[in-house]
Amino acid sequence: MPIKKKDLIKITVDSNLYPLEAIYGASYAFLDKAYIRLSGDPKGKIIVQIKGKGGDNPKKLENLADDFTNELINYGLRFQISKNNKKIREYIVGTALLSALGEMSESEGEAKEDWQKDALGIAVPWEDKYGGK
């Protein structure tokens, strides 16, 4: 439950439920809307202080707090998906880099490419390909 004061609102976030990266991400997303201050124990409870820019009224502060908690859920999910897909991303990037170097093994289903061959005839000058027109 948020704690309201005159010009700011405090939200306590359990860092066991939301990773610190998600709290940072949600805080970063709000830098243009509000002043954000984080304090507390990174392994326990994090206190997020939200102070609206431009003397916000209490209703607007409450809306900012609600929007922040929604953004916290968004970044928490994004962090979890990123963590789950880490090995797939590493494999895709590694495969792309290897194939760009032309060093992929034939056992993986890809033939080595010889960069000196011009199978499509792209390197042939226009005059040689179509005559002197």
What is the secondary structure of 47-114 as a DSSP string?
EEEEEETT---HHHHHHHHHHHHHHHHHHHHHHHHHHHTHHHHHHHHHHHHHHHHT---GGGT-PPP-
Residue pLDDT, tens place only, 66-80: 999 999 999 999 999
Q: pLDDT value at position 109?
A: 47
Domain positions in the chain are 3-84, 87-125
- Sheet containing 8-14: which strands, arranged edge to edge? 3-4, 8-14, 45-52, 34-40
Question: DSSP label at 127?
Answer: H
Q: At 119, phi and psi to the nearest 5?
A: -65, -30
What is the CATH architecture of 3-84? 2-Layer Sandwich (3.30)
Whole-prediction pTM value?
0.64
pLDDT above 90: percentage of residues in the chain = 47
